[in-house]
Structure 1
């Protein structure tokens, strides 16, 4: 199959540091190539891939200091559209701009929704361009979307088995917090969990400019406790030991997390997860097997005491059964095949009742979702 993967230009694929979407795009691309598909990756020129690289900007835009990535993405999408005849499937991993530009090609397109979907600013696009086939990364992620959305499948993320190798023993004995310092990630909860349970905590996280005030006023004053160590942003190689030697990953989120990649990275290492039960958490964590799902600070403290009794081999087995790159890509290939099999039925314009600047108010019927059979747990 000839497949185009269209990545965000914010980071290289894979990213040098933080960049969950670009990391997933890399895993999908490399596994598709491994399985024998002809893949072209549209991404920044500093990306590393075994696919054909279509470089759409010399470097990732975030590290170059670009604040608005719209212009770069519009230029990239123009090139993708001009080359669309070369591909059987065009798989987008950017938010919105492709919806109007690819109306004539919805029969061979799909978009994986990587972020939160409860943003009111985006709803005019979701309500208007309802023909684009969509993939959610958790069932919970879909909740805010219009009923007319053209859901193709829910496909959970997966990562290569070797990325975070299995650690049969947590030599560090600490709680790990990994990702981004922000109010919705609730590092303050992780700190409270550590102090109240008497468990050391290591925080490996970046501070974006948008969250600097939250760091300065809320979190920085809390990290001077002897049980708390702030490390800062770490790279992929450092992440292996950081997660593998942890007693547990603290995932104390306070928002509808669409997926939470760090949860499966920890599970890959055999490290259980203590997570507040928001967003995708109940779909990812098997309570009492790969970690604990909690709904209060008291439950989180109790989980810190119980987590050492969870067999790490069971955590790794849960990961291998559901969240590897091979499992993920097998589902995507199934979705591609079903998309192409229904090519004549996928609308090449917005669905019935939607308003489009090009077509006005439409009559007719919307193409329903294609369901990919669930993999065994």
Structure 2
């Protein structure tokens, strides 16, 4: 099958620093090629997927659909990451990475990132993001620090909550996803009350830190569509201390972490790494359906459904964000002592 992945954004595929969606599409293309399929990538100049043809398009998604001229005639199916506003010249699927606005409708061939993400948008179609576990390491000797891995400036990611959890636990917190200063000056700062701000890191710097970290602290306060940082941490042998929102109960088991709305519960988990086996965390990824190959095989089943039937079955209704749903409303979080 010839799959053309179109990712129109300001960042290349894969991104040099932040960008979980771009990285997921990189892993998808890589896996499709490993499974014997042909992949063309339409994305920012400088993008690359090993074995794929790049057809560069420098403009982010907008009203200019000139990129459609780049679609190879031999394409069987397009894989899009933004809602098309004009008819597509080829059959397509659309992956939605975020949460929609109240009442927002999506095309019938929309695929979400988790069971809970799909349900919030009136759908049953989802594919978990998968990572290439060969890119990650799990060290037997773990460091005495926890990691926060998310866009720190976004309130729903709850960096203050992660700091509170680690201060209660008496464990240093490494923040990956804070603002980068000129010349990397943020990395020269001393530890500030138990918190080390590392800025945005690429894979080469992030992977060694995850490989030795005690755990990931991920107290999000929104309906997390997936949580690729969680899977990256598990693949590195880190257990997870997080809130039970969105997809997180689908990712984190009792063997691989603790889910709670209470800072005190998460601090207790951070304080006791002996409760968790790093190898069980790695197996959660490799045996639990969260590898890039798992992701590609699920998408292939959806591609085949679209090619055979024209569109995905949605019981006669388009996927639609639940009425009254506010993606950015901060969900419950308890910082009290108990």
Q: Describe the superposition over 1:37-94 as per-residue Cα deviations: whole angstroms up to 9, x where unpaired.
A: 111101011112220111001xxx7xxxxxxx444xx43x433267374311111012
Partner of 2:334: none
Alignment of 1:1-377 (within 5 A): 1-49=1-49, 50-57=51-58, 69-71=60-62, 74-75=63-64, 77-80=65-68, 83=71, 85-94=73-82, 96=83, 98=84, 100-102=85-87, 105=90, 108-117=91-100, 119-120=101-102, 123-124=103-104, 126=105, 131-145=107-121, 147=122, 151=123, 153-170=125-142, 172-181=143-152, 182-207=154-179, 224-225=192-193, 227-286=194-253, 288-321=254-287, 322-343=289-310
Describe the SS at the equivalent of 2:176: strand
CA RMSD of aligned residues (A): 2.5
Distance in 1 of aligned mates of 2:156 and 2:21:
18
Larger Rg belongs to? 1
8 Å CA contact retained: 1:111, 1:134: yes
TM-score by length of 2: 0.83
Describe the SS at the equivalent of 1:41: strand
8 Å CA contact retained: 1:91, 1:110: yes
8 Å CA contact retained: 2:137, 2:208: no
Describe the SS at the equivalent of 1:40: strand
Describe the SS at the equivalent of 1:12: coil
8 Å CA contact retained: 2:115, 2:126: yes
Unaligned runs of 5+ in 2: 182-190, 320-338
Higher helix share: 1
Unaligned runs of 5+ in 1: 62-68, 210-222, 353-364, 369-377
8 Å CA contact retained: 1:137, 1:156: yes
Distance in 2 of aligned mates of 1:13 and 1:27:
10
Cα offset, 1:104, TM superposition: 6.9
Cα offset, 1:138, TM superposition: 0.8
Number of aligned residues: 307
Partner of 1:64: none
8 Å CA contact retained: 1:254, 1:276: yes
Q: Describe the superposition over 1:334-364 as per-residue Cα deviations: whole angstroms up to 9, x where unpaired.
A: 1111221213x669xxx99xxxxxxxxxxxx
Distance in 1 of aligned mates of 2:148 and 2:119:
27
Describe the SS at the equivalent of 1:255: coil
Q: 1:199 to 1:162 in 2, by over 3 A?
A: same
Looking at both structures, which has the greater relative contact order when contacts are Cα pairs under 8 Å and sequence separation is at least 6?
2
